[in-house]
Amino acid sequence: MLCRMIYLDYNATTPLIKEVKAEMEPFLDLYFGNPSSPHAYGMTSKQALEAARRRIADSIACHPDEIIFTSGGTEANNLAIIGVTSARRNYGNRIITSSIEHPSVIETAKYIEKHGIAAVILEPDHTGRIEPSKIKDAITPRTILVSIQIANNEIGTIQPIAEIAEICRQKKVLLHADAVQALGKINVSVAELGVDLLTISSHKVYGPKGVGALYLRKGIDIDSLLHGGGQEDKRRAGTENVSGIVGFGKACEIAVSNLKENSEKFLALRDRFEELIITGGIEARINGNPFHRLPNTSSISFKGISSERLIRKLSNELAISAASACSTCNPDEWRSSHVLEALKVSKDWSLGTIRISVGVPTSQSEVETAAQLIENYLNTEIFK
């Protein structure tokens, strides 16, 4: 059944591509040594680990020593926020973030508030953009960190990170950027962006799950979340996932080398899908910034429609996401996503929101078929 489905949920996760799998396989059995061991098995794994570190560093234009391997984007975001606020308590007790961040940022902000750190939550405009001036006005002498995502996972809105970075630099405040959804879709260069910390994740760029990384600019102190061995220059204890990191390195290398070609393809497919939906005769609205949006992401709302029902009805043919979270089986208790609430999208629109995100394997015929399936369902619902 799965092989016949159309998969348009690449912002959720991506498949492991064959080149990555081939690179990983020797480190799943033949080269199984612990990279901290001093013998030949260990040294082989250590060499592969450092080669992958160089590949990943090259993909975001930083030095390999500035890469810390983690178990994924969530851990990297936690390490950035908790690690910096712990290490810099003598400098202040205040961070700034936004209401549309990934839960791993929002929930971590709530956590550090329980430990004496104030979290200032900024609201975006109606397209999901955070105005740099808002951040400038929110910074005080006690502010030690700003954490803003590069691109939103639900609506695709891209933030003016370079402008925010310049403000943070002038105010002598560290800037952390979550680039999990951006890498492989738009250019991500820490040198050009001017950020101090940056989060990336393997499974969003056709690599294995369970691997991520935090870029930490040289000279910045951070307290470790995990304690034990001295791995990752004593910044993240625990034996590294060598096979996963090797795969991550290869995935990053491919993603960056194919960036221009892929982003152009994504944009054409996304625009074709939106064109078919908008001209299909059903009232719809596109969420996000019309000029600053990920090329592969489309968040579309239908008034008075249940996106959860739509997704369930088409679940054997089409894999897409909803922008509403259902905690019960009662439709009256569905709630809008925190992102759409921040954009002040009314409930009659937000509960009918779907997200499609195209990827490298996506074809034009797939997005056209997907649009037709959605249109057919909506016509049935509206005119039944």
Q: Which residues are catalytic?
A: 326
> How far apart are alpha carbons 92 and 254 in whole angstroms?
41
> How far apart are alpha carbons 235 and 241 in whole angstroms?
15
Q: Which helix (H) or strand (E) holds 201?
A: strand 197-201
**Secondary structure of residue 266 in the 3-state scheme:** helix
Query: Residue with structure tokens 């020593």?
Result: 65
CB 63 within 8 A of CB 257: no
Beta-strand (E) ranges in 5-152?
A: 6-7, 67-70, 94-98, 118-122, 143-149
> How far apart are alpha carbons 120 and 136 in whole angstroms?
12
Q: How many Cβ atoms are within 10 Å of 290's Cβ, its own excluded?
A: 8
> How far apart are alpha carbons 57 and 59 in whole angstroms?
5
Beta-strand (E) ranges in 31-90?
A: 67-70
> How far apart are alpha carbons 158 and 61 in whole angstroms?
20
CB 307 within 8 A of CB 325: no
Q: What DSSP character marks residue 17?
A: P
